[in-house]
A and B are shown apart, each in its own frame.
Chain A
Amino acid sequence: MISLSLIVLIFISAVLAGIVGALLGLGGGIVIIPTLTLLLNIDIRYAIGASIVSVIATSSGAAAAYIRDRITNIRIGMFLEMATTTGAITGAYLGGLISPRYLYIIFAVVLGYSTLAMFKRRNQELPEGITPHPLAKKLKLEGSYYDQVLKRKVEYTSTGVYEGFGIMYGAGVISGLLGIGNGIFKVMAMDMFMKLPMKVSTATSNFMIGVTAAASAGIYFARGNIHPAIAAPVALGVVIGATLGTRLMVRLRNTTLRKIFVPVLLYVSLEMLLKGLRG
């Protein structure tokens, strides 16, 4: 029997993971996995299963609210999901062909570069001087939302559609191969290449990550990675956290969101570099 106190601790860390995940468009795995394994001494197998559950709960919980607020761009999300789902399947086939070591190093470099790029633009509230991509008009990869902080409607369009699509494909391959980096690459592709407002990038990433995670969740369930007594408080905590996170996010500036994102990006790129070097 797993004790009540452990379940309460898991629940509290899940609330935190949900808040962070909803704010930044990530799945919360970067909070859940270290907390469960390092702090609560839970088996890594169950922590991975809990993290998948956390991604799906954050995504569905947060996306429901962000779509209602019109911050999520459903068409951009759907369009890019073509790349991530195809990438995930490619990744499943590539496993064993490529050493994860090199992948970790390559992606540490990509993330390191984007950390720098995002740091440089830390004071940029909204993207400026965007030349819309020909596909942006055709496929409606544009939109508007009401910004509660700026107190006005923000109109945006996307550029760098092919680059963004390519990065999304890479993100899919990586998540298929390593089961990580799901949200962080998605936010990066939309922010750096397609030049969407930060809020739109994190909300749309939130919308997308659930689909990628659901595709592999069945395998984790069948393998016995999803322990009911651990996954239950994670799911409940994350749903509550994600709801709180969405309320908080609409009240923040895009620049504040960037400033929270930069250290997270730096942490993940260093962690990947370490994993790659250690082998």
Chain B
Amino acid sequence: MEKNESKGLTQESHALVVEDVISRSLRWGVVISAIIIAVGLVIYLLTGDSGYPAGFFPTSIPQVLKDVVYFKSFAIIDLGLLLLIATPIFRVAASIIAFLFDGDRPYVLITTYVLAMLILSLLLGKAE
């Protein structure tokens, strides 16, 4: 990363490591999902075929994954959308590692708590 890595990081570059990790994980998540969504949308517009009967589209992750293999345009779009939705959650998980690397104990705990709450709310939503 920085040249001064071996001499021990200054406080300024410490913060940069965390910010860099988080900024990158968000950017990659957005770019990759946008490309997949765009590919799916272009296929849908060119062929006029969603891959499903009219008024129907997949609403579960296994179904999306299964249909992506057949290049169904709506399944490709949904794969991109699901990746987009996962990006903030991935970002929280990546921050835990970044704060660990930074040796910032209070924030490792804070971020772990946030991730636990996120997972809990995802599970609660499913149970409904």
Contacts and interface: CB of A to CB of B under 8 A. Distances in A.
A79 interface: yes
B41 A7 contact: yes
A226 B81 contact: yes
A232 B110 contact: no
A129 interface: no
Interface string B42-80: 001100101000100101100000000000011001101
B30 A60 contact: yes
A75 B126 CA distance: 30
B124 to A, nearest CB: 6
Given A67-B26, A236-B37, A224 B118 contact: no
Interface stretch (A80-88, A105-113, A183-191, A194-202): A80-88
Interface of A, helix, strand, loop or mixed by DSSP: helix
Nearest to A242: B30
B122 to A, nearest CB: 5
Given A64-B23, A211-B88, A79 B33 contact: no
A219 B84 contact: no
A136 B105 CA distance: 16
Contact of A88 (B59, B88, B110, B121): B121
B59 A222 contact: yes
Q: Which residue of B85, B87, B124 has the most chain A CB atoms within 10 A of its CB atom?
A: B85
Contacts of A85: 114, 117-118, 121
A216 B125 contact: yes
A148 B117 CA distance: 37
B86 interface: yes
B97 to A, nearest CB: 13
A22 interface: no
Interface in A146-203: none
Interface in A25-44: none
B68 to A, nearest CB: 12
B85 A228 contact: no
B22 to A, nearest CB: 6
B77 A228 contact: yes
Interface stretch (A51-59, A116-124, A254-262, A264-272): A51-59
A219 B125 contact: yes
A217 B81 CA distance: 10
A59 B29 CA distance: 12
Interface of B, helix, strand, loop or mixed by DSSP: helix
Contacts of B101: none
A211 B114 contact: yes
A252 interface: no
Interface string B5-20: 0000000000000110
Contacts of B128: 219
Contact of A228 (B24, B26, B78, B125): B78
A210 B57 contact: no
A111 to B, nearest CB: 25
Interface of B: 18-19, 22-24, 26-27, 29-30, 33-34, 37-38, 40-41, 44-45, 48, 50, 54, 57, 59-60, 73-74, 77-78, 80-82, 84-89, 91-92, 95, 106-107, 110-111, 113-114, 117-118, 120-122, 124-126, 128
Given A64-B26, A215-B117, A228-B40, 15 more contacts: A63-B23, A64-B23, A81-B92, A88-B117, A92-B124, A210-B87, A214-B85, A215-B118, A216-B121, A217-B85, A219-B125, A224-B57, A227-B57, A232-B41, A235-B81
21 contacts: A4-B45, A56-B87, A56-B88, A74-B22, A75-B107, A78-B107, A86-B117, A89-B120, A92-B121, A138-B106, A211-B114, A214-B89, A215-B117, A216-B125, A222-B59, A222-B125, A228-B77, A231-B77, A232-B41, A235-B81, A239-B34
